[in-house]
């Protein structure tokens, strides 16, 4: 489970929702809140102001950090606040190379767009970060009103990253309801009754047997950790199936590997990126091998 969490904030509601998520989800972790003054971006400079753009954005950053410190103090917690100047994603990633083991950030900054999407900074961070990352697309009010950790959906595909995500979810959220999910990804788009007696029936049987093996492995791990899990499958492709299941079953958050079996390097997989882009609920992308985890 996370020990030192970095929370980048830019004054947007989603960013402060990320801080709210940390206060609820990581009661024992050290928190560092970061504001980056971007010299190439004018947040809200006023025409005719006697201060320079850099001074204006720096002053705004200090105010945002003070607001975060007050909120954390109200919860009887301590935080470290950092103000830097530079490209936001570069400064965030530079801190992730130290003792930070988790990043929590809003999905995007201020925007008139209401549907879920990733902003340029969040996208750059999740594509390059060496540590696990949580993306928060919800408002501060929604996070405060949500009974976290709640119902946690954990997609698995047999990869080491998926196993790490399951271990993370079970260890970090022992009081949650854990649903282990696998998308069967059938190579056809028709009812199962139409493939009975054809060569595709063997494909169905093979995919279902693979799912049972994944669930047996997940059950073994949950037993080792003294937890319990529920298991579910869907017939469709992974990203769409994950998002549809989470929506239909009102899952509170999704925890999944940052990439699947097709990638060996520390890269963001296409399924993980699609889920992070489109999910209206918090998504955690877990890096690492479960064999190296510590409790």
Cα end-to-end span (Å), the chain? 7
Q: Tokens 């190579």 appear where?
A: 187
- Percent of the chain at pLDDT exceeding 90: 71
Mean pLDDT for the stretch of residues 21-39: 95
Please tell me if the domain spanning 1-145 has the same topology as the one spanning 147-295: yes
Mean pLDDT for the stretch of residues 136-163: 95
From 170, 161, 279, select the one nearest 227 (Cα to Cα): 170
Token couple for 189: 């788009």
How many residues are there in the chain?
Answer: 295
- The domain ranges of the chain are 1-145, 147-295
DSSP assignment of 30-91, as one string? EEEEEEEE-TT--SSPPTT-SS-HHHHHHHHHHHHHHHHHHHHHHTT--EEEEEEES-HHHH
Q: What is the pLDDT of residue 289?
A: 58
Q: Note the pLDDT tens digit of each residue in 39-65.
A: 876 545 545 555 566 788 889 999 999
Token couple for 274: 């699609």
Q: Note the pLDDT tens digit of each residue in 203-240.
A: 888 999 999 999 999 999 999 999 999 999 999 999 99
Q: What is the largest CA-CA distance in the chain?
A: 79
State the CATH class of domain 1-145. alpha beta
Where is pLDDT greater, at 254 or 191?
Answer: 254
Distance separating alpha carbons of residues 129 and 267, to the nearest angstrom = 9
Q: Does the pLDDT of residue 146 top 50, yes or no?
A: yes
Count the neighbouring beta carbons within 10 Å of the beta carbon of residue 254.
26
Q: What is the pLDDT of residue 42?
A: 55
State the CATH class of domain 147-295. alpha beta
Where is pLDDT greater, at 161 or 263?
Answer: 161
Q: What is the pLDDT of residue 263?
A: 47
Q: What is the pLDDT of residue 57?
A: 83
Q: What is the pLDDT of residue 260?
A: 60
Q: Note the pLDDT tens digit of each residue in 271-289.
A: 999 999 999 999 999 987 5
Distance separating alpha carbons of residues 132 and 278, to the nearest angstrom = 19
When the pLDDT of each residue in the chain is averaged and rounded to a whole number, the result is 89
């Amino acid at each position: 489970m996370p020990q030192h969490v970095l929370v980048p904030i830019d004054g947007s509601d989603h960013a402060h929702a990320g801080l709210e998520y940390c206060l609820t989800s990581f009661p024992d972790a050290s928190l560092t809140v970061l504001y980056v003054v971007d010299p190439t971006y004018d947040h809200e400079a006023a025409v005719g102001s006697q201060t320079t753009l850099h001074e204006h954005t720096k002053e705004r950053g200090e105010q945002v950090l003070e607001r975060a410190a007050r909120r954390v103090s109200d919860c009887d917690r301590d935080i470290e606040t950092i103000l830097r100047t530079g490209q936001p994603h570069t400064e965030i990633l530079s801190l992730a190379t130290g003792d930070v083991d988790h990043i929590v950030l809003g999905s995007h900054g201020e925007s008139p767009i209401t549907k879920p999407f990733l902003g340029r900074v969040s996208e750059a961070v999740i594509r390059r970060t060496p540590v696990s990352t949580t993306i928060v697309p919800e408002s501060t009010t929604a996070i405060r009103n949500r009974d976290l950790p709640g119902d946690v959906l954990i997609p698995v595909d047999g990869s080491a990253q998926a196993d790490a995500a399951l271990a993370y979810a079970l260890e970090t959220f022992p009081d949650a309801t854990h649903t282990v999910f696998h998308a069967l990804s059938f190579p056809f788009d028709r009812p199962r009754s139409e493939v009975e007696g054809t060569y595709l029936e063997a494909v169905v049987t093979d995919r279902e047997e693979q799912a049972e093996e994944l669930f047996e492995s997940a059950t073994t791990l949950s037993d080792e950790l003294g937890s319990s899990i529920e298991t579910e499958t869907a017939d469709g492709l992974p990203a769409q199936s994950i998002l549809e299941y989470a929506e239909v079953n009102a899952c509170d958050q999704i925890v999944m590997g940052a990439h699947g079996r097709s990638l060996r390097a520390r890269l963001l997989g296409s399924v993980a990126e699609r889920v992070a882009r489109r999910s209206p609920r918090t998504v955690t992308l877990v890096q690492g091998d479960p064999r190296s985890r510590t409790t």
